[in-house]
Amino acid sequence: MNHPAHKTPLNGLTYEQLVELCHRIGVKPVHAERLLASIFRRYNTDIGAITELPAALRNYLSECTSIFVPECTASQQAADGTQKLLLGMPDGKEVETVLIQGSGRLTQCISTQVGCAVGCTFCLTATAGLTRNLSAAEMVSEVFAGQHISGRKVRNLVLMGMGEPLHNYNAVAQFVRIATDPKGMAFSPNRVTLSTSGLVPAMYRMIDDELPCNLAVSLNATTDAVRERIMPINRKYPIAALMKAVRAYITARGNKRVLIEYVLLAGVNDSADDAVRLCELLDGLDCTVNLLPFNPFPGSDFKRPDDAIVTAFRSALASAGKVVVVRESKGREISAACGQLKTETKQQHLRTGG
């Protein structure tokens, strides 16, 4: 693995940090810009081959830094083109990333943690708890892997893979800044979306820090009683506090539209009354609602609602004037619920004694 512990992971540094590094070793700061373009725009991972850099800088970088590209340890491709990759990190821990084809644009779903501590009862990632946070360099390396494996330019990033991004705020913020730096990866802040289960204080921190990305919130229920049952985080940050933070975010960002995610669980949160309450909660809010029919996985007690229920729920929101999209998990046949490729691969390892 090309990521020894004593070496600084170069793909986790911002432009400002690269300038500082150049300054430290007595190289003109203009080279930081070249380095940034070479690594983050052209996805060059061989420092020795960046011949436009002075030899002194190249030697230093080769000796003291490394660019980490994860190993793809398993992959699955669905008929609709969705590709799931299992990526091995330097310590052997694995995370998933998903490449989603959509009207000519490639969207990549990024994991921010190995596992997750939030414990939502409908989520496969929750079952193993949290192993550790990912570093900014590791998140960047997911994009490198996506880019290399697809051979295409990734257009959109969604932080909706394994983990709760706001439980790993500093590394995620660093990643978002690297991804949106116009001199480097140059993702438009409008094309980077961070999804949270609703860590209210960290949402206010996003506002204060003017984090350059969109906000998506997993609301998933319309009463505190139900939300508490499916998302334990609701005990700490109930719906009223969450919606207040969402409204504060929209106001602070000059009416920036947010994404409201709502997992539809049969008989739990999919009634006509739920649809009415959801409209009330979202009253006057500039948002798009994403309905996510539950993606079943072995061992889960929840069920996906019938198509007729999904359609009725969608129609109820649409007729109340809400912008609503039913987001079928792309590539359902390749076990698209988050965390599932990882779980299946682990079971296979166990079966084969690997």
**Is 118 a binder of ligand SF4 (CB under 6 A)?**
yes
Size of the site for ligand SAH (CB under 6 A): 16
Among 94, 96, 138, 164, binds ligand SF4 (CB under 6 A): 164
User: How far, in Å, CA of 328 to CA of 82, rounded?
Assistant: 12
**Interface with ligand SAH in residues 121-150 (CB under 6 A):** 122-123
Write the DSSP symbol of residue 274. Answer: H
**Is 123 a binder of ligand SF4 (CB under 6 A)?**
yes
When the beta carbons of 18 and 292 are compared against ligand SF4, the nearer one is 292
When the beta carbons of 143 and 337 are compared against ligand SAH, the nearer one is 337
C-alpha distance from residue 226 to each of 229, 265, 324 (Å): 5, 11, 22
**Is 218 a binder of ligand SAH (CB under 6 A)?**
yes
Catalytic residue, chosen from 22, 94, 96, 123, is 96
Q: Quick check: is 344 catalytic?
A: no
Out of ligand SF4, ligand SAH, none, which partner does residue 108 contact, by CB within 5 to 8 A per kind? none
When the beta carbons of 164 and 181 are compared against ligand SF4, the nearer one is 164
When the beta carbons of 11 and 295 are compared against ligand SF4, the nearer one is 295
Among 141, 197, 214, 222, binds ligand SAH (CB under 6 A): 197
Residues 265, 267, 271: CA angle, nearest 5 degrees: 95
**Is 263 a binder of ligand SAH (CB under 6 A)?**
yes
Residue 208: name the closest of 158, 241, 237, 245 by CA. 245
Query: Which residues does 21 contact at the CB level (< 8 Å), separation at least 6?
Result: 8, 13, 32
Burial letters 42-74, b for 16+ CB under 10 A, else e = ebebebeebeebeeebbebbeeebbbbbbeeeb
Tokens of residue 67, six digits: 């660019």
Residue 69: name the closest of 2, 165, 168, 160 by CA. 2
Considering only 3-11, 193-201, 250-258, 317-325, which stretch makes contact with ligand SAH by CB under 6 A?
193-201
User: How far, in Å, CA of 251 to CA of 163, rounded?
Assistant: 27
**Interface with ligand SAH in residues 271-330 (CB under 6 A):** 292, 294-295
Query: Which residues does 20 contact at the CB level (< 8 Å), separation at least 6?
Result: none
Out of ligand SAH, ligand SF4, none, which partner does residue 337 contact, by CB within 5 to 8 A per kind? ligand SAH
Q: Quick check: is 96 catalytic?
A: yes
User: How far, in Å, CA of 100 to CA of 90, rounded?
Assistant: 25
**Is 197 a binder of ligand SF4 (CB under 6 A)?**
yes
Write the DSSP symbol of residue 136. Answer: H
Write the DSSP symbol of residue 336. Answer: -
Among 45, 196, 214, 343, binds ligand SAH (CB under 6 A): 196
Quote the least distance from Cβ 181 to ligand SAH, whole Å. Answer: 23
Quote the least distance from Cβ 127 to ligand SAH, whole Å. Answer: 11
User: How far, in Å, CA of 48 to CA of 232, rounded?
Assistant: 49
When the beta carbons of 21 and 160 are compared against ligand SAH, the nearer one is 160
Q: Facing residues of 204 across strands?
A: none
Out of ligand SAH, ligand SF4, none, which partner does residue 126 contact, by CB within 5 to 8 A per kind? ligand SF4
Which residues are at the interface with ligand SF4 (CB under 6 A)? 116, 118-120, 123, 125-126, 163-164, 197
Catalytic residue numbers, as ranges:
96, 338
Binding site for ligand SAH (CB under 6 A): 122-123, 160, 164, 195-197, 218, 220, 261, 263, 292, 294-295, 337-338
